[in-house]
Amino acid sequence: MTGPFALEITMAGTEQQQLAQAYTPLTIGPLTLRNRFIKSATNEGMSPDGVPSRQLVQFHAGMAAGGVGLTTVAYCAVSADGCTLPNQICMDRPTLPHLRALTDAVHAENGAVSAQITHGGCFTFIKGPGRPLSASGGFNKIGLMSGQYLKQEMSVADMQGVAADFATAAELAREAGFDAVEIHMGHGYLLSQFISPLYNKRRDEYGGSLANRMRFPRQVLRRVLDAVGDELAVICKYSITEGVRGGNSIDDGVGIARELAAEGAHLLVLSAGMNAESITTMFGSSFPPENRAVVTNPVMKGAMFLQSLVEKPVPFRELYLLEHARKVRAAVDVPLAYLGGVTSAAGVAQLMSEGFDTLAMGRVLIHDPAWVNRLREGQIQRSGCTACNRCVTMMYTEGGTSCVLGSQGDAVLNRIPAAG
């Protein structure tokens, strides 16, 4: 069997059609993607002093050259006090020329590019002049690693200010040439701290019921939609289950999807887990102990050690979030991006057959940026990624995120000239 979609083993005709569907265009809000593959946000660690580097430009241009319809620039803070890490990108005017170099490079490869915008809340390792903001005040367990032992409950005025910061960041993203913005509402950052009962202990209209806990995240979404929704796709990424006792369950995850759909989100990215409490729920596999050896940041090294004491070993399986994601798919009509262990042609075909609109992938594309094109051309059927999670650890090293196994997509990256 030769030609497009030829595989190492023969696939059934229906499965071939389902795989082919992943290569058809999709419209989300005002944006039309050339196919259904999204490079998910993975903090690459390639922005020294908060400035996007040539390496980061090449990284995302390589994803577009390798075939993805949309690549996502991870974890852009909406304000300086919303940063989690010292070298994190902040969506401000001085950063715009560097971001424009990145978006131009992606567009030159006929891809689209999204800016993930976020606020860390109390999930920060940067000491500020006051307590870090969160849904509720009191003890800050995240601050054990950075000496910020207390957090500050946000006032309504604080919320209004942060919502305005999200809208301004979206406007700056539009000016920098991005095609979409992704509002990060998962994994334990500020908006997640409102959504999650683990963090939100408020007794006013912003706490208690799920509808109340969603009130501030919905206000942020509305501000962003009003600011850029006619020109940029507005995406929300959230945790459909937090994977920890006392946190949001999949039933809550379905309710969150309904709330975001009702507010008008153009696409939902279905992630899971929390950074501190349930990272294996997020990645679907354990982090090997030897990962800590390559991390130079003492705070992150300590955090990884503490996680190893509470997380049980989890073996990887393909499509590890599918059972949960199906429940969201059955409940809402809004476009959905499945995220969670897509590693094969058969997996892609199955997700298309089950009605998911897009596929968001991280580790597979870090391993091989050309995976989407190679799959389409019939050169491969399954990724060589082993879900060892070393690439996640590498973001905290000087070189930034990379695959320790060696990527077969290096040629794609190397053929792209460095940005000026």
Which are the catalytic amino acids?
189
Determine the 3-state secondary structure of 350 from DSSP. Answer: helix
Cβ atoms of 397 and 301 within 8 Å: the answer is: no
Q: What CA–CA distance (Å, rounded) separates 190 from 119? A: 6
**Strand 26-28 relative to strand 31-33: parallel, antiparallel, unpaired?**
antiparallel
Cβ atoms of 156 and 210 within 8 Å: the answer is: no
**Proportion of the chain in helix, strand, coil states, percent, rounded to 5:** 40, 15, 45
Cα separations in angstroms, 301 against 210, 285, 304, 306, 307: 34, 19, 5, 9, 10
Among 393, 240, 270, 250, residue whose Cα is nearest residue 339: 270
Token pair recorded at residue 298: 């003492």
Q: What CA–CA distance (Å, rounded) separates 184 from 200? A: 17
Strand partners, 239: 271
Cα separations in angstroms, 158 against 84, 206, 233: 18, 13, 26
Cβ atoms of 4 and 341 within 8 Å: the answer is: no
Give residue 406's region: left, alpha or beta (phi > 0; psi -120 to 50): left
CB atoms within 10 A of CB 39: 31
Cβ atoms of 341 and 320 within 8 Å: the answer is: yes
Q: What CA–CA distance (Å, rounded) separates 259 from 216? A: 12
Q: What CA–CA distance (Å, rounded) separates 363 from 14? A: 28
Q: Where are the beta strands (DSSP E) in 57-169?
A: 70-77, 112-118, 133-134, 138-139, 150-153
Task: Using the structure block, give the residue that is written with the tokens 């009509």.
Answer: 333
